[in-house]
Amino acid sequence: MAKANDIDELFRLYYRPLCIYATHYLQSIDNVEDIVQEAFVSLFEKMKGGTAVASVKSYLFTSVRNGCIDVLRKRNTHPEEFLPEEFCETVPDAETVSDSFDEALLWSAIDSLPSGRKKMLLMHKRDGMKYSEIAEELGVSERTVRNQLSRALKFLRKETKNFLLFFF
Amino acid sequence: MNELNDKKLNFVLKFYREGAFNPKKAIAQFHTSEDEPHTNRYGYRWAVTFATAFASIVIVFAAGFSITKAVIHHNRQQETVPAPVVLNPDVAATHTFVYEDAPLPDVINELSDYFGCTISCPPTRKHLTATFPDDDLDLIVSIIESVLNVDITVEK
């Protein structure tokens, strides 16, 4: 029978990878957390009702995927043209599931970066800003930017050493 | 550069938002919503079941009411006031309130006691998971109001 702590443990294991998995499908973070919460609620109801769930991980990822397909169907202006098979080819599933766990580790690692380094990382890697531009924007030297970025990447590398390392 | 993993980093950075996808927050939200009545989930079917059950209970209760009333009146003992629930016994030393899945009425009672004023909220089964410093009651109240979506009244 499902207990409160069981579901908490499932959240800790799967919540972030599920959110990232949904983001792959929706290409945005809007609606993602609602879809994932809904998957957990539905799982919990099933467990409470005494239905055996063979693979919790499978159930959750499938629920989330279906939730995303629903959202995409609604978003699509020509729903009759939307074919799930077509869609699935562009987001191969098993790989996406596996990537989501790695990316969840990355996300958590970025979360734990000190705010200055995090900001610089986002400015450089996400916004494509050059060291000089970052330095000017934040009122620090270029050397500081280079230093901070190097530490940030070193930290990320250390935190995510379970999957293949990337090199800066 | 390892293309594959740069791809993962770029994906994460593209969508990264501070505070998003937080499992602790999600757990709190899950347990809060768990306590709310699920009347919307099944709609009509539940409404009919509930109405029938309620009607039956009312009929049975009306029949037994006069007898029960007489018996209780005859046997009435002095009522004891239940001891107030104390969730944070060392807050005077730690200056921090820590609530984990605490029923809101218990939280309210503890805060009323500590700050020496009358705090009230509408009857609710909501639970609170949060941590606050003990120096600003107004701040605490406004946080609880927005997190749990309840109206809290403070009489100082």
Question: How sure is the predictor about B39, in pLDDT bands with cuts at 50, 70 and 90?
Answer: very low
How far is the CA of B79 from the CAs of B69, B71, B105, in angstroms?
16, 16, 21
The one-character DSSP state at B130 is E
Task: Considering only residues B141 and B48, tell me which one the structure prediction assigns the higher pLDDT.
Answer: B141
- A158-168 per-position pLDDT tens digit: 887 766 554 44
Task: Considering only residues B6 and A88, tell me which one the structure prediction assigns the higher pLDDT.
Answer: B6
Q: How far apart are CA A35 and CA B21, in angstroms?
A: 12
- A133-153 per-position pLDDT tens digit: 999 999 999 999 999 999 999
Q: How far apart are CA A131 and CA A139, in angstroms?
A: 12
Task: Considering only residues B73 and A155, tell me which one the structure prediction assigns the higher pLDDT.
Answer: A155
**Extended beta strands in chain A, E state:** none
Is the pLDDT reported for residue B146 higher than 90? no
Interface of A with B (CB under 8 A): 4, 7-8, 11-12, 15-16, 19-20, 23-24, 28-29, 32-33, 36-37, 40-41, 44, 99, 102-104, 106-107, 110-111, 118, 121-122, 125-126, 156, 163-168
Say whether B100 sits in a helix, a strand or coil. strand
How many angstroms separate the most distant Cα atoms in chain B?
86
Q: What is the mean pLDDT of residues A88-103?
A: 79
pLDDT for the residue numbered B61: 79
Write down the ipTM of this complex: 0.84
Cβ contact A15:B21 at 8 Å: yes
- Cβ-count burial of A85 within 10 angstroms (0-12 exposed, 13-18 middle, 19+ buried)? exposed
Beta bridge partners of B98: B131
Q: Which residue on chain B is closest to A113 by alpha carbon?
A: B18
pTM above threshold 0.80: no
**In angstroms, what separates the C-alpha of B73 from chain A's closest C-alpha?**
41
Question: Which of B15, B17, B23 lies closest to A15 in CB terms?
Answer: B23
pLDDT for the residue numbered B47: 74
The one-character DSSP state at B117 is S
What six digits make up the tokens of A22? Answer: 């949904």
DSSP string, A17-37: HHHHHHHHHHSSSTTHHHHHH
pLDDT for the residue numbered A90: 53
- B40-71 per-position pLDDT tens digit: 455 566 777 778 888 888 888 777 887 787 77
What six digits make up the tokens of B19? Answer: 């505070």
Q: Count of residues for chain A?
A: 168
Tokens 């994932």, residue? A36
Contacts 24+ apart (CB under 8 A), A20-23: A20/A100, A20/A103, A20/A104, A20/A107, A20/B12, A20/B21, A21/A61, A21/A64, A21/A65, A21/A96, A21/A97, A21/A100, A22/A64, A22/A67, A22/A68, A23/B15
pLDDT for the residue numbered A85: 54
Is the pLDDT reported for residue A62 higher than 90? yes
Q: How far apart are CA B49 and CA B76, in angstroms?
A: 36
Residues of A in contact with B14 (CB under 8 A): 126
**B74 at interface of A, judged by CB pairs closer than 8 A:** no
State how beta strands B118-120 and B153-155 pair: antiparallel
B9/A15 Cβ within 8 A: no
